Amino acid sequence: MKNNKKNDNTIAKNKKANYDYETKEEFIAGVVLKGWQVKSLRQKRVSLANNPHIIIDRNNEAWISGMSITPLEQANTHEFRDSNASVKLLLNKKEIDKIRGAKEQKGFTAILHALFWQGQYVKAKISLSRGKNTVDKRKTVQEREGKIEAQRAMKNIRL
């Protein structure tokens, strides 16, 4: 018998990112986490609702700011756990330079799209994006509704 369970490695997605931003270039980065954060991610107790963004500091290190990881009650109670703490990203120097250069251009920003498991490691999908105006957002909604209607029509056709 087939196992119908979908093997999805996604921990969390930023659903508003594709609606609010137009993606130009994507990167995959490692994420530096503490033990209690990993345990919380395994329980999917993370929120990307605040539109987390990428910050590059003076030491050429990239950080995720605006992501909320809710700590578990039973995990590591002797350590201070800040749910809104910044999390370090592992990127190459070339990738950091690309992100820094794009952020200096007008209208570009670095956005976190998703967190996912790759083996035992947590990875982040980030992108260089430009904000959409309201006309572009309407087009996105129309395209999505058109795809849904096409799928309904194909489902209702009987051969």
Query: What CATH number is associated with residue 24?
Result: 2.40.280.10
Q: What does pLDDT average to over the chain?
A: 83
DSSP one-letter code for 60: S
pLDDT digit string (tens) for 26-58? 999 999 998 888 888 888 888 888 778 788 888
DSSP one-letter code for 16: T
122: in domain: yes
How many domains is the chain partitioned into structurally? 1
**Residue 158 CA, distance from chain mean position:** 40
pLDDT at 125: 92
pLDDT at 5: 53
Residue 2 has pLDDT above 60, yes or no: no
Query: Whole-angstrom Cα distance, residue 85 to residue 83?
Result: 6
* Straight-line distance from the first to the last Cα atom of the chain, in angstroms, rounded to the nearest whole number: 28
114: in domain: yes
Q: How many Cβ atoms sit within 10 Å of the Cβ of residue 122?
A: 22
Query: Whole-angstrom Cα distance, residue 6 to residue 98?
Result: 35
pLDDT digit string (tens) for 64-93? 888 888 887 776 566 666 667 788 899 999
Q: What is the pTM of this model?
A: 0.74
pLDDT at 53: 77
Q: How many Cβ atoms sit within 10 Å of the Cβ of residue 109?
A: 17
For the chain, the residue count is: 159
- What SS3 state is found at 111? strand
Residue 6 has pLDDT above 70, yes or no: no
pLDDT band at 4 (very low <50, low <70, confident <90, very high): low
24: in domain: yes
pLDDT digit string (tens) for 93-139? 999 998 888 888 888 888 888 999 999 999 999 988 888 777 777 88
The domain containing residue 119 runs over which residues?
A: 10-131
75: in domain: yes
**Residue 124 CA, distance from chain mean position:** 6
* DSSP-assigned beta bridge partners for residue 13: 114
